[in-house]
Amino acid sequence: MFKYDKKLPYPIDIKKKDLKMAKYILTQFGGPNGELAAAMRYFSQKFSMPTEEGKALLSDIATEELSHNEMIATMVTQLMSGATVKELEDAGLANIYTEHGYGVYPTDSSGVSFTAAYFSNVGDPIANLSEDMAAEQKARAIYEHLIDLADDEDVIQPLLFLRQREVVHFNRFKELYEKYKKLNF
């Protein structure tokens, strides 16, 4: 079912170390409104969709969210490249370094580890799709905040790409939501 192309959906080539930005972006890796939460939300919800179209849509978007998680991890890794332990400590990343070294681990920007409590599945397609649309809007807003904090085009351009994908996902969920409402699911 899955095909891994071994390339990112958008090229990432960040040349300038920026530990504060790495810390901020980390929230989209393992935070409550990040890509991992979205992937797991949509994957778990697909099983309660009443049509093959709905199951396929949630599966497709869940898979894409995993590719976005890979983009975020790549960005964080490149932003931290060459950092000393002292620089990590000064940037407020000592707590993450203590547990994970230079590895990227699913946490938010405060170092709170990912938890399944970040997403819901109530088994009702209308309720789940409503949550999915809200999740995409929250992720879009966070990408806009990250773009506001960034000053490097090598960081801004992938964030703009990711932001736009949130808009596309919202629209796809909205189309399915409207279809299901008409069918009284």
- Residue 9, pLDDT score: 94
Structural domain includes residue 140: yes
Largest Cα span, the chain: 59
Tens-place pLDDT, residues 48-100: 999 999 999 999 999 999 999 999 999 999 999 999 999 999 999 999 999 99
CB atoms within 10 A of CB 1: 4
What DSSP string runs through the chain? -----SS-SS-----S--HHHHHHHTHHHHSTTSHHHHHHHHHHHGGG-SSHHHHHHHHHHHHHHHHHHHHHHHHHHHHHTT--HHHHHHTT-HHHHHHHTTS--SB-TT-PBP-GGG----S-HHHHHHHHHHHHHHHHHHHHHHHHH---HHHHHHHHHHHHHHHHHHHHHHHHHHHHHHTT-
- Compute the distance between CA of residue 8 and CA of residue 14 in angstroms, rounded to an integer: 14
Structural domain of 95: 19-112+121-182
Tell me whether residue 160 is in a domain: yes
CATH number at residue 53: 1.20.1260.10
- Is residue 14 assigned to a domain? no
Domain count, the chain: 1
Which pLDDT score is estimated for 57?
Answer: 98
Q: CA distances (Å), 65 to each of 5, 53, 153, 167, in order?
A: 15, 18, 22, 13
For the chain, residues with pLDDT lower than 50 are none
Check residue 126 and give its pLDDT. Answer: 98
What is the reported pLDDT for 1? 61
Q: What is the pLDDT of residue 29?
A: 97
